[in-house]
Amino acid sequence: MAAGNDVDESPPVIFNPDFFVEKLRHESPDVFLELVLSNITRLIDLPGTEFAQLLGEDCPKTPTSGNGGFFRSFNFLKRKKGVVFGTTLTESCIAQIYQLIEFLSKLHVEGLFRVPGNSLRQHALKELLNGGADVDLEAGEFHPNDVASLLKTFLGELPEPLLTHRHFHVHLKIADMTLFDEKGNKTAVPNKERQIEALQLLFLLLPQANRSLLKLLLDLLYHTAKQQDKNKMSAYNLALMFAPHVLWPRHMTAGDLKDNLKNLNNSMAFLIKHSQKLFRAPVYLREYAKVHFNGTKVLQSKDDLELLAVSSSSSSSPAQRTAPALKRTAGPGCAVQEQSQSPAQQYTEEALKELFRHVHQNMPDSAKKKKLVRQLVKQTQSGTSSEDHLLPTAACKKHPRSRSFGGLIK
């Protein structure tokens, strides 16, 4: 009876909609990369050199002659490499910097991030963080402006901007995405839907540590902007403060700033305003990832997803309008196939079996594992087609980063 009570009183199993996307990334990285890149190039025209830079096959050609004295001003606090500041971004760095982010998320100080802090207090706090200390920022030793300024310093001392040099030209292309009028002429109205889709895809290609910190940072700035009536910091004001550290290439010259400044600032403001949508994989990627492991035919792009509704009322084949087929797509022919069963009914049973194997083989024996196994068995026996509670976000992941700050982006 006690065991039954344990099951009933246990927390609900939460389904992470991007679990299969992450599973595809870790278990079939070539398929994952090809799928994401094919959809990015569907949305954005990337010349050969820029595409090679995105792949890391060519050194990024950032707008600089190599001398770049202007941008050096943003690194003036850099002295020596420590555990956190001035080093390559790692998740141990993020764990320390998260102390600043967590503290700042509770504040509504006017001019936050705009008003500079005290340099001596910033240096003392920087040394504490470099030494791996847990700092009690609530004690009042450091002013909120000290903490906010040090967060910007940390970002400015990274070897490259948070969104990386490799992605710089793609972000400029995304900023230039606009709608077309009825005659097919380009307008000045941003195509926000396509911009969000492109950013969702591009963020999937970021290094895991960059993506984790970006998620934490944009969440902070989003909620700060929502309190602009108190702190006087709108999304655009915050973008002016953070675009240099998140988007601008290191050593960018004054001439290059003149050419790209407006687009870069607008891009940063867009990231802040839409941050709550940008860390979800597009629906068609989720669908592909779910059925990839079952060997069935799949949706490969948003175009396929839109054609699915058309195919249900028309006998004409949508094959000519779908995105180019991937080399590893299982089965020939059209990417969308109507079936008598709903997609949820088709792959829920297989997904549950896969998750059961995942938990049974990879989780250490513990009460938590036994409880999760019981829930999965109960779910399998119930035969429900709901997918809202198939998997806890972290327990069933094989990759060690699932227990780190990487898990915060899911």
The full set of domain ranges for the chain reads 1-17+351-410, 24-59+168-201, 70-163+206-273
- Give whole-number Cα distances, 55 to 16, 123, 278, in Å: 28, 38, 21
Q: How confident is the model at residue 206 (pLDDT cuts 50, 70, 90)?
A: very high
- Give whole-number Cα distances, 223 to 101, 149, 185, in Å: 12, 18, 37
Q: At CB < 8 A and 24+ separation, what contacts does 366-371 make?
A: 368/395, 371/6, 371/7, 371/10
Question: Comparing 164-173, 197-206, 300-309, which segment has the lowest mean pLDDT?
Answer: 300-309
Question: Per-residue pLDDT averaged across 282-302, rounded?
Answer: 77
Q: DSSP assignment of 207-235, as one string?
A: -HHHHHHHHHHHHHHHHHHHTHHHH---H
Q: How confident is the model at residue 59 (pLDDT cuts 50, 70, 90)?
A: low
Compute the distance between CA of residue 216 and CA of residue 405 in angstroms, rounded to an integer: 9
Task: Give, for 186, the enclosing helix (H) or strand (E).
Answer: strand 186-190
Question: Comparing 11-15, 211-215, 224-228, which segment has the lowest mean pLDDT?
Answer: 11-15
Please determine, for residue 363, whether its predicted confidence score (pLDDT) is greater than 70.
no
Q: How confident is the model at residue 52 (pLDDT cuts 50, 70, 90)?
A: confident
How confident is the model at residue 51, as a pLDDT? Answer: 82
Contacts of 341 (CB under 8 A, 6+ apart): none
Contacts of 92 (CB under 8 A, 6+ apart): 83
Compute the distance between CA of residue 85 and CA of residue 150 in angstroms, rounded to an integer: 10
Q: Of 179, 165, 171, which Cα lies nearest the Cα of 266?
A: 171
Contacts of 317 (CB under 8 A, 6+ apart): 311, 334
Question: Per-residue pLDDT averaged across 181-196, rounded?
Answer: 91
CATH code at 70-163+206-273: 1.10.555.10
User: Which comes out higher in pLDDT, residue 155 or 322?
Assistant: 155
How confident is the model at residue 67, as a pLDDT? Answer: 38
* Diameter of the chain measured on Cα atoms: 74
CA of residue 275 relative to chain centroid, distance: 9
How confident is the model at residue 163, as a pLDDT? Answer: 96
Q: What is the pLDDT of residues 324-362, one digit of tens each?
A: 334 333 333 333 343 444 444 444 566 666 666 666 666
Please determine, for residue 278, whether its predicted confidence score (pLDDT) is greater than 90.
yes
User: Which comes out higher in pLDDT, residue 204 or 75?
Assistant: 204
User: Which comes out higher in pLDDT, residue 315 or 206?
Assistant: 206
Compute the distance between CA of residue 162 and CA of residue 179 in angstroms, rounded to an integer: 28
How confident is the model at residue 10, as a pLDDT? Answer: 58
Region of residue 61 (phi > 0: left; psi between -120 and 50: alpha; otherwise: beta): beta
87 backbone dihedrals φ, ψ, rounded to 5° = -120, 170
Q: What is the pLDDT of residues 133-164, one digit of tens each?
A: 999 999 999 999 999 999 999 999 999 999 99
- As a whole-number percent, the residues of the chain with pLDDT over 90 amount to 49
Residues in the chain: 410
How confident is the model at residue 258, as a pLDDT? Answer: 78
Q: Find tokens 């030793």 and name the residue.
A: 141
Q: How confident is the model at residue 374 (pLDDT cuts 50, 70, 90)?
A: low
User: Which comes out higher in pLDDT, residue 207 or 66?
Assistant: 207
Which 8-state DSSP code applies to residue 67?
A: -
Question: Comparing 3-17, 130-144, 226-240, 353-367, which segment has the lowest mean pLDDT?
Answer: 3-17
Side chain identity at 100, as an amino acid letter? L
How confident is the model at residue 70, as a pLDDT? Answer: 33
Q: How confident is the model at residue 313 (pLDDT cuts 50, 70, 90)?
A: very low
How confident is the model at residue 17, as a pLDDT? Answer: 84
